[in-house]
Chains A and B, each alone.
Chain A
Amino acid sequence: GDSVTQMEGPVTLSEEACLTINCTYTATGYPSLFWYVQYPGEGLQLLLKATKADDKGSNKGFEATYRKETTSFHLEKGSVQVSDSAVYFCALSDRIIQGAQKLVFGQGTRLTINP
């Protein structure tokens, strides 16, 4: 079945450091790819998405490119802030009946940014 693998956490960085969180996937079809972020005590929020190969999703300074040849969707940010501290989930979706998505999540990566 479909699966998503993220880099092991936790990840701790200093403010203004560069961030990469690796994500690779296996899927039988042509999934859409997502990054969700979970701030402490809150639910998941969509951070960015990409729906086809070579698409780049971006939001709040974060970027990720859908790489079909390497089945990857790595999350990057050039200069992180303390407010970026959260748990990040990579996810894919394959279409199920009537066009609704079934999300498959990675295990999550906890990111802590120190001032």
Chain B
Amino acid sequence: EAQVTQNPRYLITVTGKKLTVTCSQNMNHEYMSWYRQDPGLGLRQIYYSMNVEVTDKGDVPEGYKVSRKEKRNFPLILESPSPNQTSLYFCASGRTGGTRSNQPQHFGDGTRLSIL
């Protein structure tokens, strides 16, 4: 079954304690991306990756890091979390190529982070 798997699903932690949210996909997709979802703001892109070792900033990258050492994995790292990073996070993956931007992205079930 095609899946994007995020872990953990829920996390409550404290300011400044480094954390990593993992994301793995089994569809051999080149493109992976992280979004955060906040009330009234929809989803905003944090970082994306076009392929292994190729990553770039999205619209709200401050306070986050990512890495893409393997094609299937795209972890999101919060080196020093702060309360304004309390949010619902989604990982997504998709195919690249073609002349039209019409490839749908597949989303994980989300990770709810609370930073106290």
Q: State whether A32 touches B101 (Cβ < 8 A).
A: yes
Is there contact, CB below 8 Å, between B97 and A98?
yes
With the chains together, A43 CA to B42 CA distance in Å?
A: 13
Nearest chain B CB to A65 CB, angstrom units: 16
Bitwise, B49-80 to A at CB < 8 A (1) or not (0) is 01000000010000000000000000000000
Min distance, Cβ A41 to any Cβ of chain B, angstroms: 7
Bound CA span A42–B107, Å: 9
B43 touches A99 (CB 8 A): no
* B102 to A: closest C-beta gap in Å: 4
How many residues in B have their beta carbons less than 8 Å from beta carbons of A? 33
Q: A32-B102, A98-B50, A102-B45 are in contact. Are A107 and B40 (CB under 8 A)?
A: yes
Check A93/B102 contact, CB under 8 A, given A102-B45, A106-B42. Answer: yes
Q: How far is the CA of A103 from the CA of B44 in the complex (A)?
A: 9
Assess A51 versus B102: contact at CB under 8 Å? Given A98-B96, A103-B45, A106-B42: yes
Instruction: Let me know if A25 is at the binding interface, CB within 8 A.
Output: no
Tell me whether B101 and A43 are in contact (CB under 8 A): no
Partner of A43 from the list B40, B48, B96, B110 (CB cut-off 8 Å) is B110
Of all chain A residues, which has the CB nearest B43?
A105
B100 interface neighbour in A36, A89, A95, Cβ under 8 Å:
A95
12 A-B Cβ contacts within 8 A?
A: A31-B101, A36-B107, A44-B90, A44-B107, A93-B101, A95-B99, A98-B30, A101-B94, A101-B101, A102-B58, A105-B43, A107-B42
